[in-house]
Structures are given as structure tokens and as C-alpha cells.
Structure 1
């Protein structure tokens, strides 16, 4: 038995090392970003100002409105949820049978034909959760919907010494909710999807081991 175990241990350590060395590029695909194609150059008209030169005019609105424009999202998420449940129930029943006082029934103990049952249940539970998120995240307009709303998406990856972190954000923004500084609070983003993912030593230490997860899955208690 010890010989088989000694042969199996190196394989388990190798398998664990391969799983720990996985990068985010293999775990979570990046958010696809569609950029607008550059317009075809227009023929020169002989004037000083050319529309094909691009750029923004001095008095032009600098807020995002076209596919490929950048928009900054202010993360101001504060969510708190609480839930509690209490339940009490009880039930009692008695049964008895009277026998005639005649032979041979008078020889039978009436206690054999009487009985009772009772049951009770009491339970309570509670749960609370609070989340807070702050910061800024710049996204790209990937699509302009028929009603004028902007579909945005962003993907940010940071590789550190002890691992790799990734933040993904997608959602829909109304142009009228964008401020003059080209920023919009996250509370104004519809269908928002915000995802934090991490790999490396810190993420691995915060995750329960595979053997512990196996025993938690098969234990009946």
C-alpha cells in the first residue's frame, strides 16, 4: 500500500502545481470590444476646414456618443440585504378504544387499544450581506442601440508579483445620464455586469482545497 501511495503522491503534486499556474488568459476570456471603422477620406473642397480631418470642434460636446468612444464609470455601489425566518409548529393526537365488558373481551387490557402521538418543530434562520464598491473604470462604447442608448464594455487586467487580477464591466448607459466630464455613476448603468477575478498565491490560499471540497460534497452531515 505504501508503494502505491508513494507513486501517486508525485502525480497529485504535479496536478496541483499545474492548476495553480493557470493564468487569467486561460480562465476568463476578455470582453470583446468593437471599434468603429475610420470613415473614407473625403475629396478636398479647397476650404481651410476639412470635415475629414476629424477631431473635435472648440464648442463640440466631448461626451461619449459614438461607437469606439471612451466613457468613465464611477463605481458607487452600496448594497445591504437582510433576511430572517422563524417557524414554530406542534401537533398532538390521542386514540382510544372502549371494549365491552363481556368474555373474552373483558380479559384484554384496554391499554393495548389506546395511544397518542405528539410532534413539535421550531426553527429560525437569518442572513445578512453588505457590499461596498468605489472607484473609477473606463469603458468603451461597443454599440449604439436604436433608441440612442450606449452599450459599453471594459476589461482591465493587472499582473502582480503574487498573481493576476482582472475586472470586467458591461452595461447600457443613456446619453442624458452622462455628465459634462464624460462620467456616469454606476447606479445609472442598466443591466450592469461587474466581475472580479484573480489568480495566484493569494487567490489559491483563499480557496478551499480540492480534497476538502470532495469530503464536503460526499459527507451526509
Structure 2
């Protein structure tokens, strides 16, 4: 068992050695759902001229016209997701509890029986004070939570599916490489066509089932993560 674990750790370390001195590579866009949605949807021919409603009118209902609706509505269309998260929460709780009690019991007179029993008891013992108990308990707890998050981003997303009820399923990703660090932004969820603005934008709070991920990979992220051996030790060691 230990030999197999050692081989796995060694192979993982060799794979990491291949990236020494190299910038992290971008994820290929051809493998994502966005590419398949756009590649499987035929684009309208550019040469098709919009047909005016009247001979002397410039109005046309097509997206190519000057006043046409260019909002994303079909599979393969692209829209902009605006992410502006500025959340702050503060919670403070305080709890206090105390309790005290005492009990005593004795039989000073009962047909002379306590006196006869006192003679048989050890010195100093008496049935007049047969039992006495006391208890005291106190508890106090304090807790507080303070959280503040702020994130402002914009990312282009693609409609990868249109559900039978008209709701659009979107997914978008963005990668930015600065020196040897790649910042990754991923957004996915479901939107209603009527929530998309005339600027072909939608805010994150109108995305149902929103999944927003902002992280990175590269030298800085690699240093912040514990080594593979340490992670394995944390899982296996019972201490």
C-alpha cells in the first residue's frame, strides 16, 4: 500500500516538473460548450439584405437593421454578463445561562427510629440531616461573523441551450495571463430573454442557478497550495 502511494506521489511530482520555468497554458476553447453551441448553429448570411416593411421605410425587423433587436435569443448567440458583487454581513451573538439548586433531607423524629439508628451510625453521623446536595452551573458564549466581498467583472457568455419554456442556459469563461499567473473567470446559469437589456447585457443577480468562479493557476497559486505529500498526510494521519 505504501509503495503504491509513493509511486502515485512520485508521478504527480514528475508531472509538475514539466511546468518549471513555463507560463501556464490557456485552456483550449474548442473543448468548451460555448464553442460547440456556436459551431452547431448556422450563422445568417451577411449578404441577405433586410426587407423593409414599406418601400419608403428604413425599418426592418431583422437584427442587421439599424433599429433591429440585437439581444441574444438563440443558441450560439453571445451576451455580456455584468458581475458587481458588493456584499457585507455582520452577525454578533451573545448567550448567557446560569442555574443553581440545593436539596436537603432529614428525619429528626419518627417514633424514635432515627435515635436508634444514630446509635448504630459512625461518630458524627445523624439521621437528622440524612442528605444535603447543592449544584451550580453557568454558561456564557459569544460569537461574531464579519464578512465583506467586492467583485466587479464583465464577461461574454454564450447561449448553449434554449429550454422548452424559453429560458436560456448560458455559459461563459475568460482567462487572462499576467506574467506566470492565469486568472480564470467562469459563469453559468439560466436567464430569461426579457431580462436581457437593450445593450445585450444582463446582471448576475438576474441569473438563476448562477455559478460564478474566479480563481487562478500559476506560480503564485502553486505556492499558496500545500504540497501533495502534505495533503496526503493530512488525510491519512489520524493526529
TM-score, normalised by the number of residues in structure 1: 0.70
Cα distance in 1 for partners of 2:130, 2:218 equals 70
Displacement of 1:56 in angstroms is 2.1
Counterpart selection for 1:86 from 85, 94, 117: 94
Give 4+ residue runs of structure 1 displaced > 4 Å after superposition: 11-26, 48-51
Task: Look up the SS of the partner of 2:215 in the other structure.
Answer: strand
CA contact under 8 A between 2:86 and 2:148: conserved in structure 1? yes
* Residues 127-146 of structure 1 aligned to structure 2 (within 5 Å): 127-146=145-164
Counterpart selection for 1:199 from 205, 211, 217: 217
How many correspondences in the alignment? Answer: 198
Cα distance in 1 for partners of 2:91, 2:226 equals 27
Cα distance in 2 for partners of 1:149, 1:90 equals 56
Counterpart selection for 1:167 from 154, 164, 185: 185
Task: Look up the SS of the partner of 2:41 in the other structure.
Answer: coil
What RMSD over aligned residues (CA atoms) do the two structures have, in Å? Answer: 3.8
Where does residue 115 of structure 1 map in the other structure?
133
Q: Give deviations 1:93-134, integer Å, cap 9, x for gaps.
A: 323332533322473535884332222111110112111111
Where does residue 199 of structure 2 map in the other structure?
181
Cα distance in 2 for partners of 1:90, 1:67 equals 64
Cα distance in 2 for partners of 1:24, 1:78 equals 31
Where does residue 104 of structure 1 map in the other structure?
120
TM-score, normalised by the number of residues in structure 2: 0.66
CA contact under 8 A between 1:88 and 1:122: conserved in structure 2? yes
